[in-house]
Amino acid sequence: MRRSLAFAVLCLLPSAILAQQPPKSQVTPARDSQAVAVLNQALTAMGGQSVPTIQDTVVQATLTPPPSRAGTPGPVTITTKGPNKMRIDGSGGGKTSVVIFNSGTELRSKGSGWQPVPSANSDHQRIEHLPALMLAYELNRPDVSAGYVGVEMVEGRSAHHVLLARVSKLANGLDEISTKNSQIDVWLDAKTMLVSKISFLYLSETDWRVGLPMEIFYYNYQSINGLLVPFHQKCLFDGQPLDDMQITSFAVNQAPSDLRFEGR
């Protein structure tokens, strides 16, 4: 298994309060103007204006493992509800498995009951298979910073490189590494403004201070329900092929029960 638009607030305060230095916990994470402009262009290109009407999504797909790893292609269903709930039902090789992410928690079932997973990856889980939704949800978070890195080449094409991070403010000495673990690099095709690639750290489930790069490449965008969806996605883990996903169908607003995201 693989792992409302831009946020804006206008606050009118008395001059005496404006003169005060706000507490660190209330400081808005930095968002570079060029990064925000590029991200907004990408959202427009991918149909981000339809995001507020999407309550949930259901993706049917086929996952194909690389030749280097034993296994056969198998079906997978990915269901989301809002920005923080995702359920992945997959099967292959005669086995079935289910993974649930729900507001920072992760549950897994392999036929012997549900087991909570003490994985730091669940803290920063995103809807990575639907990049338009992923970007819209990230920009809507008040704790997300955005920085413009520059123009780089991705598979022979020029792309804008933007770095997003969820800035931790727990003030417990772990903020720096928590923020680093949340970072996601996004490359936007300079011609089409579609997301062509993302990269982030997949953390060890036994030591959250250790992580290896996960990369996802997006191809064959198709417009469904006003949203551009990449029907072909290729995943690399630490530079090695992991999975190839071909989406076969995409639907929105199917009203799945909350119980499906609670391991019941």
Residue 63 CB-half CA count within 13 A: 23
Domain boundaries of the chain, sorted by first residue: 27-257
Q: Which pLDDT score, from 0 to 100, does residue 131 have?
A: 98
Q: Can you read off the two tokens belonging to residue 169? A: 């403010």
Q: List all residues 6 or more positions away from 55 whose beta carbon is below 8 Å from its beta carbon.
A: 81, 82, 252, 253, 255
Task: Tell how far CA 144 is from the center of its chain.
Answer: 13
Composition of the chain by helix, strand, coil, percent to 5:
20, 45, 35
Determine the pLDDT at residue 110: 65
Q: What would the pLDDT profile of 4-47 be if each residue is shown by its tens digit? A: 222 222 222 222 222 333 344 455 899 999 999 999 999 999 99
Contact 107, 97 (CB under 8 A): no
**DSSP string of 108-168, one letter each residue:** EESSS-EEE---GGGGG---TTSHHHHHHHHHT-TTEEEEEEEEEEETTEEEEEEEEEE--
Q: Is the dihedral of CA 261, 174, 129, 221 positive or negative?
A: positive
Contact 76, 64 (CB under 8 A): no
Print pLDDT tens along the chain (264 aa).
444 222 222 222 222 222 333 344 455 899 999 999 999 999 999 999 999 999 999 999 999 999 887 778 999 999 999 999 999 999 877 788 899 999 999 999 866 688 888 778 888 899 999 999 999 999 999 999 999 999 999 999 999 999 999 999 887 778 888 899 899 999 999 999 999 999 999 987 777 777 899 999 999 999 998 999 999 999 999 999 998 999 999 999 999 999 999 976
pLDDT of residue 111: 65
Task: Just give the CATH number of 27-257.
Answer: 2.50.20.10
Integer Cα distance of 70 and 177 in angstroms: 35
Note the Cα 263 to chain centre separation in Å: 21
Give the pLDDT of residue 26.
Answer: 53
What whole-number distance in Å separates Cα of residue 26 and Cα of residue 196?
34
By three-state DSSP, how is residue 208 classified? coil
Query: Alpha-carbon distance 122 to 118, whole Å?
Result: 8
